[in-house]
Amino acid sequence: MSFLSGRPSTDESAPLWTELRGDLASCGYFPELVEDTVNLGVGDEPLIEFVVHHEPTFNLDEIRRHLTVLALTPTRLVISHTDEQPADGERGGTGQGASSCESIGLAGINTVALTRVVSSPENYRRGDPAQEAWLSVSWGAMRRIDWEPATCADPDCEADHGVTGAITPDDLTVRMSATADGAERVERLVRFGTLLQQYTGRGTTRSLGKR
């Protein structure tokens, strides 16, 4: 059963669900499985905005695909990841798909960083499309440590000063470009990131359902 059939016709976000289903179908990557995963994560909350990111990776002579769906509700950020697992030819098995869903309360999100890359910035006008966009979201689940040798101000010093490092959040990063993903998907990522910044900055969840 599609998640659309289980939602009341009075749901104001129904057009967004229809748009999401069409986007998943255009990717052609286990659309029914991804639909069901997103639906289970969102539950009975309204859908405010979404992003679909289809990312193929190349491993020698194999192509592995990965699909990420970000869904924004009045209280949560829902993240779905779907990967395909090839069949085991030696055992005559069939391929498998792994689809996971993570839910983060908006109050628990620490930072939302949105970066836009534009061409000819000297000619930029408000509302011009970006050629590339990066969305980074941190809620403290994962952190990356970058180590490097420590040095001092003396250029002739040969002493061992140990190592130094920087700890940076590394929970979620989504990058899209007009060349690889299309201008519409870049625009959608910018819109999603902007809404997520606004909703996480309101401080309370009571008014998040009002746009």
Name the helix (H) or strand (E) containing 179.
Answer: helix 178-181
Average pLDDT over residues 117-127: 94
pLDDT of 86? 67
pLDDT of 63? 66
pLDDT of 25? 94
pLDDT of 111? 92
**DSSP β-bridge partners for residue 163:** 149
Reading phi first (left if > 0) and then psi (alpha if -120 to 50, else beta), residue 106 is in alpha
pLDDT of 18? 94
pLDDT tens, residue by residue, 137-188: 999 754 445 456 767 777 778 777 665 654 444 589 999 999 999 999 999 9
pLDDT tens, residue by residue, 64-89: 788 999 999 999 999 999 998 766 65
Strand, helix or coil at 44? Answer: coil
- Model-level pTM? 0.76
Neighbour-count burial for 177-191, b at 16+ CB within 10 Å, e otherwise = bbeebeeebbebbbe
C-alpha dihedral, 195 to 197 to 203 to 209, nearest 10°: 10
Question: Would you place residue 205 in the very low, low, confident or very high pLDDT band (cuts 50, 70, 90)?
Answer: very low
57 compared with 197, residue with greater pLDDT: 197
Instruction: Give Cα separations from 66 to 58, 100, 112 (angstroms).
Output: 11, 12, 23
Average pLDDT over residues 41-48: 95
